[in-house]
Amino acid sequence: MHPAGPMDPVTLTTADGLNLFGLLSATLWYAIRIGAAMQALPMVGGRGIPARSRLVLTIAISVALSQLLPAPPPAGVNAATALAVMREFATGIAIGLMLRIAFEAGEIAGQLISQGMGLSNATLANPTSGEASPVVSQWFFLAFGLVFFTSDGHLALVRLLFDSYAAMPVGAPFADWPGFVTSVPTFFGEALRTGVLLALPVMMALLAVNVAVGVLSRAAQQLSPMSLGFPIALLVGLLLLMLLARELQGPVQRLFEQAFQAARALTG
């Protein structure tokens, strides 16, 4: 037998074009779930990050994962393809929503503490939703973000997206639809409990301060509760937040671990 000769330029160009088309098709399939997750994620999604930056990040992760995952099924203009696209979008939103709920625990803690400190009317624009939220909630949002990135949460997120395709490939139906539906309310209860527990020590201390100021104002009529109580509550609240910052890492990391476990439960 004669050895096969080199492929002609036309054949090579056709093969390269087919490979590029296959890579583009796989990237677009994976970008649906990843892009939906990025849109729902805090610190990355929302109005705080430009849309072009999110698009570049989504495409970069999709291209990287497409080299490690099997090729998705070919797409066609039919109802099955439309259903698969909606399924991918719902899966990505649900994964991102779990981590967003974890950040909402800090929002809840900040709102509860700001009531005792008298800072409920001091608001800033929330970078995730664009709505006004108390400055204490913004402090918790930044603290949660620092813990997330310093504990390699962004790497765990990429791993979670990769594992989600192994558990639920592109085009595969939901294996456990009741578990998919009930995972979000279940984890929401855990996040709510964590937010209240984070704010509870500061709330109780501020309540004691306000009660003491009220007793003093009743004992000495010349003391104004507004002029005396607000500076004391603000100073005590800031000192307690400084102490809370030193103990914040452990509970927040456990909350993120629960969020990742709940997100993995979504895909079976």
- Return the DSSP state at 45: S
pLDDT digits over 108-137, tens only? 898 888 888 877 776 766 666 667 778 888
User: Phi/psi at 168 (nearest 5 deg)?
Assistant: -135, 85
- For 115: left if phi > 0, alpha if psi spans -120 to 50, otherwise beta; the answer is alpha
- C-alpha 210/C-alpha 230 separation (Å) is 9
pLDDT digits over 153-211, tens only? 889 998 998 888 888 888 776 666 666 667 777 888 889 999 999 998 888 888 888 88
**pLDDT value, residue 88:** 85
For 229-235, the CB contacts below 8 A with 24+ separation are: 230/118, 233/116, 233/117, 233/118, 233/206, 233/209, 234/117, 234/118, 234/119
Instruction: Provide the sign of the torsion angle of the four alpha carbons 59, 62, 63, 64, taken in this order.
Output: positive
**pLDDT value, residue 223:** 63
- C-alpha 257/C-alpha 268 separation (Å) is 17
**pLDDT value, residue 1:** 43
- C-alpha 161/C-alpha 66 separation (Å) is 12
C-alpha 176: how far from chain center: 23
Residue 35 has pLDDT above 80, yes or no: yes
- C-alpha 69/C-alpha 158 separation (Å) is 13
- C-alpha 5/C-alpha 87 separation (Å) is 47
- Return the DSSP state at 175: S
pLDDT band at 50 (very low <50, low <70, confident <90, very high): confident
Domain boundary assignment for the chain: 9-266
